[in-house]
Amino acid sequence: MKFYSIAIDGPAGAGKSTLSKLLAKELGFMYVDTGAIYRTVGYYINLMGIGSKDTDGVRRLIDEVNIDIYIDENNVQRMVLNGQDVTDEIRTPEMSKYASDVSAMAFVRSFLLDMQRDLAKKNNVIMDGRDIGTVVLPEADLKIFLTASAEERARRRFEEYAAKGEKTTFEQVLADINQRDFNDSNRKAAPLKKAADAIEVDTTGETLEQSEKRIIELVREKLAI
């Protein structure tokens, strides 16, 4: 049986997860948020008292990381780390930084590669991340590179944090986004980059509904489904 895969890559806050979730629901595909996998690794490293840039420390601990992913009854991707559900704990600014730092380590990326590919072998997937179209699923049926201006992405992230009661400022979120864009795009291992055959979709100034409509049209046209 042929399984379809759609790769959605792009910088932090471009709307990848929101749009991927909507799209997955519309198409009946499984949504896989790969950033959550890096966040879970970062969470464990932090829990064990290791700094996010301590490559030797991360290397020592990486084999202790056991991740299970499942979709709950509310269609939420639950992340289970060594038997403990950490889905909510990984969504903090500190874990964003940890995820970005550990994701720059090539051995962390190869440790997680098969897990991601296995999901696409067994399901119709919409997978979002930074290197899905370039490294994880180079044969994806459709690749979208989703972007928006840094200010707009920071505003969206800031509103997300504010809704959760997370204490931060817009300026801080913007600085973090710029730093993360730089780290994710300039690392040696699988940097954030538009695949040659990806279609770029810039959502700056669009409402969610407008972006959703545009992307669904694109998918229906390219996949003929």
Interacting residues with ligand DC (CB under 6 A)? 12, 34-35, 38-39, 96, 99-100, 103, 129-132, 180, 184
Q: What is the DSSP string of 81-109?
A: ETTEE-TTTT-SHHHHHHHHHHHTSHHHH
Residue among 200 and 221 whose Cβ is closer to ligand DC: 200
CA-nearest of 32, 20, 14, 6 to 184 is 14
Residue among 10 and 220 whose Cβ is closer to ligand DC: 10
Residue among 132 and 198 whose Cβ is closer to ligand DC: 132
Location of structure tokens 């538009």: 194
> CB of 221: closest distance to ligand DC in angstroms?
25
Which residues are paired to 200 by β-bridges? 145
Map residue 187 onto helix, strand or coil. Answer: coil
> CB of 156: closest distance to ligand DC in angstroms?
12
Sign of the alpha-carbon torsion through 213, 215, 217, 223: negative
> CB of 102: closest distance to ligand DC in angstroms?
8
> CB of 121: closest distance to ligand DC in angstroms?
17
Q: How far apart are CA 3 and CA 30, in angstroms?
A: 11
Residue among 31 and 38 whose Cβ is closer to ligand DC: 38
Q: How far apart are CA 224 and CA 141, in angstroms?
A: 11
Residue among 120 and 132 whose Cβ is closer to ligand DC: 132
What one-letter code names the amino acid at 55? T
What one-letter code names the amino acid at 58? V
> CB of 11: closest distance to ligand DC in angstroms?
9
Q: How far apart are CA 22 and CA 20, in angstroms?
A: 5
